């Protein structure tokens, strides 16, 4: 995670961002800290990547890379405003030790558009707005896992992690309307037992969640969606990230998951 000490809506690269919208940075830091504390309370270890002045979106750490079994496929951001973030993430993995970092040649925004299902050894990957399909092929070569390409069609859900999340080893949750008709068929074929979300759930950033297989950290606004998680046997833990939503992100965007070897 990277603290929102320099968070700002300084440019508009997704429909949620309004450059004229004031941001309460202290409040953003408090909300981010509550998320970090919630992760610690659940027994996770959290590495903090220092924020960098001039990189106002760096709080969205999920976009910095994508790791599977100790191999890290680096990010290459679509927009110049964020491109330097990739170097900070690369430096983290290279100095931490134990990771094999592979620099990308293709545009991809890390875990924003890549998800991993450990129980099936499968990578799910989004394209349409940020990550390019050539990066899906590159990720498959780098990580040695099959990549299922999914096309996003609704610009409000511009990253895969705004429309789909992994709940446990086998199961996913998603909002079908964010995907092309063909990608919806692919998801229905591969994951018939998914927890389905509706448009309101997705707009409340409910799908931008982090799950440990039972406890699911989920945006507070997504109350109806949290009830669906409960009905499916999970334990939702609400987290208020309203300030960061002004940048177009919530829980998952703030957390880069480290899948060690």
List 3, 104, 206, 249, residue binding ligand ARG (CB under 6 A):
249
Q: Which residues are registered as beta bridge partners of 164?
A: 174
List 14, 31, 51, 173, residue binding ligand ARG (CB under 6 A):
14
* 4 touches ligand ARG by CB under 6 A: no
Q: Put the strands of the sheet holding 71-74 in their side by side order.
A: 65-68, 71-74, 100-102
List 60, 174, 175, 205, residue binding ligand ARG (CB under 6 A):
60
How far out from the chain centre does Cα 146 lie? 19
Question: Which letter does DSSP use for residue 51 in this model?
Answer: P
* 85 touches ligand ARG by CB under 6 A: no
Q: Is 146 exposed, middle or buried (0-12, 13-18, 19+ CB in 10 A)?
A: exposed
List 51, 63, 219, 220, residue binding ligand ARG (CB under 6 A):
63
The catalytic residues are 159, 253
Q: What is the dihedral of CA 173, 130, 116, 232, to 10 degrees?
A: -10
Query: Considering only 34-42, 83-91, 222-230, 245-253, which stretch makes contact with ligand ARG by CB under 6 A?
Result: 245-253
Do the beta carbons of residue 97 and residue 121 sit within 8 Å? Answer: no
* 62 touches ligand ARG by CB under 6 A: yes
* 131 touches ligand ARG by CB under 6 A: no
| Residues 193, 238, 52: CA angle, nearest 5 degrees | 105
Residue nearest to ligand ARG (CB): 253
Query: Which contacts qualify for 226-233: CB closer than 8 Å, 24 or more apart?
Result: 228/195, 228/197, 228/201, 229/167, 229/173, 229/195, 232/167, 232/195
3-state secondary structure of 84: coil
Question: According to CB under 6 A, which residues from 107 to 126 bind ligand ARG?
Answer: 112
Do the beta carbons of residue 63 and residue 110 sit within 8 Å? Answer: yes
List 55, 131, 248, 256, residue binding ligand ARG (CB under 6 A):
248
Binding mask of the shown chain, residues 158 to 197, with x at each position contacting ligand ARG by CB under 6 A: -x-xx-----------------------------------
Query: Considering only 12-20, 31-39, 175-183, 184-192, which stretch makes contact with ligand ARG by CB under 6 A?
Result: 12-20
Do the beta carbons of residue 4 and residue 25 sit within 8 Å? Answer: yes
What minimum distance in Å lies between the beta carbon of 218 and ligand ARG? 15
Tell me whether residue 57 or residue 154 sits nearer to ligand ARG (CB atom): 57
* 205 touches ligand ARG by CB under 6 A: no
Binding footprint of ligand ARG on the chain (CB under 6 A): 13-14, 17, 57, 60, 62-63, 82, 112, 159, 161-162, 247-249, 253
């Amino acid at each position: 995670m990277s603290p929102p000490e320099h968070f700002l809506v300084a440019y508009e690269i997704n429909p949620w961002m309004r450059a004229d919208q004031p941001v309460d940075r202290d409040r953003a830091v408090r909300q981010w800290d509550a998320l970090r504390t919630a992760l610690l309370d659940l027994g996770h270890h959290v590495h903090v990547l220092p924020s960098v002045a001039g990189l106002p979106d760096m709080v969205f750490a999920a976009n910095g890379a994508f790791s599977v079994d100790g191999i890290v496929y680096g990010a290459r951001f679509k927009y110049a405003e964020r491109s330097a973030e990739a170097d900070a993430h690369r430096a983290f993995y290279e100095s931490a030790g134990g990771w094999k970092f592979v620099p990308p040649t293709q545009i991809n925004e890390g875990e924003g558009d890549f998800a991993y299902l450990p129980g099936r050894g499968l990578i799910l990957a989004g394209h349409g707005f940020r990550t390019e399909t050539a990066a899906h092929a590159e990720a498959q070569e780098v990580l040695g896992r099959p990549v299922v390409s999914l096309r996003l069609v609704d610009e409000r859900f511009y990253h895969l992690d705004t429309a789909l999340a992994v709940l446990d080893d086998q199961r996913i949750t998603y909002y079908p309307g964010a995907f092309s008709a063909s990608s919806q068929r692919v998801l229905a074929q591969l994951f018939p037992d998914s927890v389905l979300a509706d448009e309101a759930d997705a707009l409340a950033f409910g799908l931008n969640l982090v799950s440990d297989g039972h406890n699911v950290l989920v945006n507070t606004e997504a109350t109806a969606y949290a009830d669906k998680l409960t009905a499916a046997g999970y334990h939702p833990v609400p987290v208020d990230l309203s300030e960061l939503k002004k940048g177009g992100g919530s829980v998952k965007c703030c957390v880069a998951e480290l899948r060690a070897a």
